[in-house]
Amino acid sequence: MTSQEAINRINAAIDSLREVRDTIGAELTSMPDLKDPEVQRLSVLHDRAANAVAAYHKGQ
């Protein structure tokens, strides 16, 4: 694998993670019961995805 191939794969992974983050975020806005365990798990996953994307962009 070349460095360019690695960059392309990493960028694709970050793009995919961003899509997941955005999808979860959209779903969370339509879920009224914030105390529901599934909503809380989705919220944690959204935060993790957001942190990973932010960390990647901070390191660039």
Report the run of H or E that residue 34 belongs to, with start and end.
none
Residues of the chain with confidence (pLDDT) below 70: none
pLDDT (0 to 100) of residue 21: 98
Tokens standing for 53?
């994307």
pTM (2 decimals)? 0.84
Domain residue spans in the chain? 3-58
CB atoms within 10 A of CB 49: 20
